[in-house]
Amino acid sequence: MMTDVEAPATTWVIEAEDLWRIYRTGTREVYALRGVNLQIPLGRFIALKGRSGSGKTTLLNCLGGLDRPDRGVVRIFGRDLSQLSEKELTQWRRKEVGFIFQSFGLLPTLSAYENIELMLRIAQASRKEKKQRTIELLEMVGLAKWMHHRPFELSGGQQQRVAIARALANRPRLILADEPTGELDSTTAREILSLFRQIVEEEKITVLMSSHDPLVDGYVDEILPMKDGQIVRER
Ligand code: ADP
Ligand code: MG
């Protein structure tokens, strides 16, 4: 007889328990996260959806160790981020998480090739490894022909492809993408969403993306609706 076995805790890529984040400026308090709970397994493409101000960026930053919640626990592959010092967190982030932003965040004076290679240089990969991996990544995102172009010589979609390749450089199994299609027209946005879909399938990684675009619905495995600092499940 087949039995359903509960997955052990360490098979979750992301676990968040009762996350709160309160921004304090002077006497004003903004409750950006109000008790977020999450469990996300490996090999999924998931969208956080909600209007501007609902807490998407704050949540992604807390999950990726760019910010610390005021209360609650974040575990990524079973590791409790609150146990890491700032220095350890920075090192952990470089290895374990790839970040992608709305405005691409490429270095303008470097070519596509150099933007990707830089990540491998930071990780102290060997010369041979750097070259191999950079070419492999450029091919993966369909930009081999454009490798020597600098960001201003590339379209928005192409720039986002470079950013995706760069985020994947050190083989993280988690990619956090904050409105990655926010500055793209809908045709280009679809191409980028298909690319994420393909990467999730082929590389067996998890991509958690924020968006307020209805377009994403057709590409993701799951939608997590966010409202006023909470994930509101429609069940
Ligand atoms: P989203 O990404 O969904 O637009 P954010 O996480 O950026 O939402 O913001 C959630 C709430 O927190 C908003 O009310 C926003 O104004 C506020 N907020 C975000 N960052 C800061 C900050 N650094 N200082 C004060 N308030 C902030
Ligand atoms: Mg945001």
pLDDT in tens, 113-151: 999 999 999 888 899 999 999 999 999 999 999 999 999
Query: Which ligand lies nearest to the CA atom of residue 51 in the structure?
Result: 1
Nearest CA to ligand 1 atom 14: 53
Answer for the pair 94, 122: CB distance below 8 angstroms, yes or no.
Answer: yes
Q: Which of 20, 48, 58 to mutate to test the pocket of ligand 1 (most atoms within 8 A of CB)?
A: 58
Does residue 164 lie within any of the structural domains?
no
Distance 187 CA to ligand 1 centre (A): 29
Token representation of residue 17: 């328990």
- How many structural domains compose the chain? 1
Q: Which residues contact 14 (CB under 8 A, 6 or more apart)?
A: 38, 39, 40, 63, 74, 75, 76, 174, 206, 208
CA atoms of 188 and 185, how far apart (whole Å): 5
Q: What domain range is 201 assigned to?
A: 2-103+172-231
User: How confident is the model at residue 7, as a pLDDT?
Assistant: 43
108 in any annotated domain: no
Q: How far apart are CA 175 and CA 209, in angstroms?
A: 8
Residue whose entry in the numeric block shows the structure tokens 């903004």: 30
Summarize pLDDT for 142-167 with one digit per residue, the tens.
999 999 999 999 999 999 999 999 99
Which protein residues touch ligand 1 with a CB less than 6 Å away? 23, 25, 30, 32, 50, 52-58
The conformation of residue 54, written as its DSSP 8-state character, comes to: S
Length of the chain: 235
Nearest to 12 by CA among 76, 73, 95, 62: 76
CA 100 distance to own-chain centroid: 6
Residue 167 resides in a domain = no
Amino acid identity, position 35: G
Asked whether residue 128 is assigned to any structural domain, the reply reads no
Q: Which ligand has the minimum distance to the alpha carbon of residue 31?
A: 1
Distance (angstroms) between ligand 2 centre and the Cα of 71 equals: 20
Q: Identify the burial level of 222 via C-beta atoms within 10 angstroms of its C-beta, where 0-12 means exposed, 13-18 middle and 19 or more buried.
A: exposed
Nearest-angstrom CA–CA distance, 73 and 37:
9
How far is 58 from 178, CA to CA, in rounded Å?
Answer: 10
Who contacts 36 (Cβ-Cβ below 8 Å, separation ≥6)? Answer: 16, 18, 19, 55, 59, 72, 229, 230, 231
Q: Is residue 80 part of a domain?
A: yes
- Ranges of residues in the chain with a pLDDT under 70 are 1-10, 234-235
Q: For the whole model, what pTM was predicted?
A: 0.93
Looking at the domain assignment, is residue 118 inside a domain? no
Cα-to-centroid distance, 160 and ligand 2 (Å): 17
Closest to 231 (Cα-Cα) out of 48, 52, 57? 48
Give burial (CB, 10 Å; 0-12/13-18/19+) of 180: buried
In a domain, 124, yes or no: no
Atom of ligand 1 nearest to the CA of 51: 3
Going by the DSSP 8-state scheme, the letter that residue 185 receives in this structure is -
For residue 150 the two structure tokens come to: 């600098």
Ion ligand 2 nearby residues (CB, 5 A) = 56-57
For residue 209, give the CATH number of its domain: 3.40.50.300
Is residue 152, in this structure, part of any structural domain at all?
no
